[in-house]
Amino acid sequence: MPDWKIRRANTIQTELEVPGDKSISHRAVMLASMSNGTCVIRGFLPSEDCLCTVAAIRALGVPIESADETTLIVQGKRRVFAAPTHDIDCGNSGTTMRLMSGLLAGQPFRSRLIGDPSLSKRPMRRVMEPLTQMGAKITAEGKDGRPPLVIEGGNLQPIDYVSPVASAQVKSAVLLAGMFAKGRTSVTEPTQSRNHTERMLEYFLIRPQKNDLTVSLHGGLTPESRDFQVPGDISSAAFWLVAAAAQPRSHLLIKNVGLNETRTGVLAVLVRMGAHVREIVENEEAEPLGVIEVRGARLKGTEIGGKEIPNVIDELPILAVAAALANGTTVIKDAGELRVKETDRLAAVATNLRAMGAQVQETEDGMVITGGIPLHGARLDSYGDHRIAMAFAIAGMFAEGETIITNTDCVNTSYPGFYQTLERILHEPPGQQTPVITSLPNA
């Protein structure tokens, strides 16, 4: 993909939809593959990460057809998988590697999981530890528990695992392995992370039990096949939410977007920063989904930390951009996990914001941003990280002069079509943006 060239934009007055939720798309394919029949998944995100999960599940002998780009028909195999005949390539996707590790830990065969150079640097001990306690044999071929992973599974014992990290990927890996263990498996996390796996297990009638920060389930049950609707990804919506929130007189509606309470932290942060945000849940069958309305304002700084972090973990790069555009100081803390994402996101955000003229102090687990200093265009690297590319494309909409983002292919990891939407927004003068939007009714 060529470099992105971005210029300062006018106010945004438009409505749009975003592609399917990445976390939910991965899980829908995995649970459908374990089910007892045919599941039609609609709204699936056809991004590189999620297609890695589709290829991984197909490699285990599960037929998956695509009726169209966003509709998959999965023939569940009643939890009985075939040994893969080749390495399973997880690409850039941490979710594929960690969740598949849980599923494969329960299989009586050997599999090998590989990833791209970025994924090959990411820590896997966090899933190896509990899965090994359950009885799987897992070897990391990379240094210090880094991929590739070789998994020889089967014959699992249940555990009560207390996770040291608030990670939905760790929780999900243990729960997926627990589906194959003899007895009740539980996971306790230090802070609530996204709960899509628990919700989906419930939807597929596995009935996990939830008690505060502990989730548990009985092994040996087969998910009941059902169709599934994936909502739009609020983490993708976050880029447009900030683009509108930070520009007085902007007005944006995002429709059919996921509003799961473990993911909507970005809305709370934007409200604290002074944006006018409203949301309406329209459907709650499998996952809550609905509409978000944002009206822009002159934003002010805030503090983001503690229990809120897992709920905004993927939105922190774009929230850091919002902070640079806001008056006053923003402190982001307790976010050390950002150092082990697709790239070190704290370093990448600080480097790029500084290149645009912002004042940023990087800390071990966060950053302090002194906002309100006008940004200027710069030539910025994405560091091969989709969320860095998109966050700085939005920063470019507020900068004087031209911003160039290089190394942009990574956007296909989570948001194919992002740049087309950006171009539409950049080139449509306000007032002529289509369709002309209406407001949400008063609450």
Residue positions forming the annotated binding site = 22-23, 27, 94, 122, 167, 169, 314, 341, 345, 387
Cβ 93 to ligand S3P, closest distance in Å? 9
Which CB sits closer to ligand S3P, 23 or 412?
A: 23
State the helix-helix crossing angle for 418-427 and 386-396, rounded to 10 degrees. Answer: 0
Q: SS3 helix, strand, coil % of the chain, rounded to 5?
A: 35, 25, 40
8 Å CB contact between 326 and 301: yes
Per-residue x/- mask for ligand S3P, residues 134 to 173, rule CB under 6 A? ---------------------------------xxx--x-
With beta carbons less than 8 A apart as the criterion, state whether 406 and 393 touch. Answer: no
The crossing angle, in degrees rounded to 10, of helices 418-427 and 234-245 is 20
Name the residue nearer to ligand S3P (CB basis): 185 or 413.
413
Is residue 413 part of the contact set for ligand S3P (CB under 6 A)?
Answer: no
Burial 34-58 (b: 16+ CB within 10 A, else e): bbeeebbbebbbbbbbbbbbbebbe
**What's the rounded Cα separation, in Å, for the pair 351 and 335?**
17
Q: 3-state class of 317 per DSSP?
A: helix
Give the shortest CB-105-to-ligand S3P separation in angstroms.
17
- Does position 13 interact with ligand S3P (CB under 6 A)? The reply is no
Number of chain positions touching ligand S3P (CB under 6 A): 11
By beta-carbon proximity to ligand S3P, the closer residue of 168 and 346 is 168
CB closer to ligand S3P out of 172 and 247? 172
Helix axes 94-105, 48-58, angle to 10 degrees: 20
Shortest Å, Cβ 76 to ligand S3P? 21
Return binding residues for phosphoenolpyruvate.
22, 94, 122, 169, 345, 387
Q: How far is the CB of 97 from ligand S3P (least distance, A)?
A: 11
Q: How many CB atoms lie within 10 A of CB 247?
A: 25
**Least separation in angstroms between CB 2 and ligand S3P:** 26
Residue 427 φ then ψ, to 5°: -100, -10
Annotated binding-site ranges for 3-phosphoshikimate: 22-23, 27, 167, 169, 314, 341
Residues marked as catalytic: 314
The structure tokens listed for 366 are 């966060």
Binding residue (CB under 6 A) for ligand S3P from 59, 60, 312, 313: 313
Residues 168-227 contacting ligand S3P, CB under 6 A: 168-169, 172, 193-194
Q: Does residue number 236 form part of the binding site for ligand S3P (CB under 6 A)?
A: no
Please count the other Cβ atoms lying within 10 Å of the Cβ belonging to residue 437.
16
Q: Which is nearer to ligand S3P, 94 or 372 (CB)?
A: 94
Select 168 or 237, whichever has its Cβ closest to ligand S3P. Answer: 168
- State yes or no: cis peptide before 148, omega within 30 of 0: yes
Answer left, alpha or beta for residue 332, where phi above 0 means left and psi between -120 and 50 means alpha: beta
Nearest residue to ligand S3P, using CB?
23
Which backbone phi and psi does 70 adopt, to 5 degrees? -110, 10
List the beta bridge partners of residue 39.
Answer: 74
Nearer to ligand S3P, 349 or 397 (CB): 349
CB 295 within 8 A of CB 251: yes
Closest separation between CB of residue 55 and ligand S3P, Å? 17
Minimum distance from CB of 5 to ligand S3P (Å)?
28
Tokens of 162: 């207390």
Q: CB of 76 within 8 A of CB of 49?
A: no
23, 195, 403, 408: residue in contact with ligand S3P (rule CB under 6 A): 23
Q: Please tell me whether residue 314 binds ligand S3P under the rule CB under 6 A.
A: yes
Does residue 182 contact residue 157 with C-beta atoms inside 8 Å?
yes
Which residue, 97 or 275, is less far from ligand S3P as judged by CB? 97
Convert residues 244-283 into a mask of x (bound to ligand S3P by CB under 6 A) and - (unbound). Answer: ----------------------------------------
Q: How far is Cα 329 from Cα 319, in angstroms, rounded to an integer?
A: 13
The distance of closest approach from Cβ of residue 107 to ligand S3P in the complex, given in angstroms and rounded to an integer, is: 21
**Site mask, ligand S3P, residues 28-67, x = CB under 6 A?**
----------------------------------------
Q: Which pair of structure tokens corresponds to residue 143?
A: 């240094």
Peptide bond before 430: cis, by omega within 30 degrees of 0? no
Q: Check binding of 95 to ligand S3P (CB under 6 A).
A: yes
Chain contacts with ligand S3P (rule: CB under 6 A): 23, 95, 167-169, 172, 193-194, 313-314, 337
